[in-house]
Amino acid sequence: MSLSWPWALLSVLVIPLIFAVREWARRRRRRAAVRVTSIALVRSALPGHSRWTRKIPAVLFIAGLALLALGAARPQASVPVPQTSATILLALDTSGSMCSTDVDPNRITAAKKAAVDFIESQRGGPRIGLVTFAGNAGLLVPPTDDTDSLIKALDVLTVSRGTAIGQAMLTAIDAIAEVDPSVASTGAKPVDAGGGYAGAAIVVLTDGANTQGVEPQTAAQEAALRRVRVFTIGFGTTNPTPMVCDSSQVDGFGGFGGYGGGRGGFDRGRNVRTIDEPSLKKIAQTTGGSYHRAENADQLQSALASLPGSFTVVRQRVDTAPAFAAGGAVLVITALSLSLWWNRPRIPTR
């Protein structure tokens, strides 16, 4: 909690001033005391409450004044607020290894289903764009709030050779720059917008390691300069399984025969079943994002479902002065009411 007008806390000094006036009045009454001969008559005129009970109004009154003084200082609290204007770029790996059947029926099908569920869950929320990458990276759908067009685009995903993770991140940055003026494109100099992160994030889902194009760490540094966080997901297992994709999921493998039933799986000397976790973790660390591991469809869906809270909820300062003022007023009124009621003169009964 922070205070907009901290100097207003000086108003709390009225509390010791009240105590001083009270003590002065008490001593004055003592000097002007009247002697009476009947103690019973005095007791019958006093309220029938204990010493501690009589202190309750004073305590409530002091607490009320303290809350009023705090309210005058205009306290502000940082609270989480949904950010519907956020932009999410979902970068999906469509390399040949996504045909691996260690995830039923294969990785690419499970990834498409998880992406559809994720997009559906964000309906009416942030804008979402799609980037796919294999040997090259391309923008499949610019950031949009049209959920149906995003889902339709996922139906035509096909796999091909190569894995260009770094290029995918740069493509995603440029897509964000098209709809968010606060984020500079990769060909422009980043603008220093102060602390905090941009209202945009990139989610990279891959089952391997970068094999060509821009180095992922270079792209991560470009994202960090633009305050764009990158959240990475390593998908799949290291178990040797056949790689099977139907004809609608394959885009020109040139000699691999559609990736049907093969147990091979090497791309430029790299085992396609090896996820470059150190690189993915470093990308997330550099940009302020996080890394998630998913070995099956359920874990992938859970990883995607856990991400929105990290970048679609921002913290904003809310003025809480009215609440403090209302609480202080209630305490002061309660204290005065109790004081008047408990200290009212009682008529002696015969």
Read off the pLDDT band of 140 (50, 70, 90): very high
Residue 153 near residue 141 (C-beta atoms within 8 A): yes
User: What distance in Å separates the CA atoms of residue 287 and residue 281, rounded to the nearest whole number?
Assistant: 10
Give yes or no for residue 108 having a pLDDT over 90: yes
Residue 98 in tokens: 């996504």
| DSSP 3-state of 190 | coil
The per-residue pLDDT for 39 is 54
Give yes or no for residue 214 having a pLDDT over 90: yes
Give yes or no for residue 217 having a pLDDT over 70: yes
Range in 92-101, 246-255, 321-330 with the lowest mean pLDDT: 246-255
Higher pLDDT, residue 234 or 11: 234
Q: Which residues pair with 124 in a beta bridge?
A: none
- 84-311 belongs to CATH 3.40.50.410: yes
Task: Give the whole-number percent of the chain exceeding pLDDT 90.
Answer: 44
Residue 109 near residue 255 (C-beta atoms within 8 A): no
Mean of the pLDDT values across residues 303-324?
A: 71
Residue type, 224: A
- Number of helices and strands (H, E) in the chain? 11, 11
Give yes or no for residue 341 having a pLDDT over 60: yes
Give yes or no for residue 72 having a pLDDT over 80: no
The per-residue pLDDT for 44 is 54
User: What distance in Å separates the CA atoms of residue 114 and residue 88, rounded to the nearest whole number?
Assistant: 15
Residue 304 in tokens: 């995607």
DSSP per-residue letters across 235-252:
ES-SS---B---GGGB--
The per-residue pLDDT for 254 is 41
Domain ranges of the chain: 2-78+321-342, 84-311
Give yes or no for residue 96 having a pLDDT over 80: yes
Higher pLDDT, residue 266 or 53: 53
Read off the pLDDT band of 249 (50, 70, 90): confident
Residue indicated by tokens 């966080």: 229
Range in 58-72, 96-110, 243-257 with the lowest mean pLDDT: 243-257
Phi, psi of 294 (to 5 degrees): -135, 115
Max mean pLDDT among 17-26, 71-80, 327-336 falls in 327-336
Read off the pLDDT band of 274 (50, 70, 90): confident
Mean of the pLDDT values across residues 110-115?
A: 95
pLDDT averaged over every residue in the chain: 79
pTM: 0.66
Give yes or no for residue 267 having a pLDDT over 60: no
Give yes or no for residue 22 having a pLDDT over 60: yes
List, in order, residues 6 or more apart from 46 with CB less than 8 Å away: 346
The per-residue pLDDT for 124 is 83
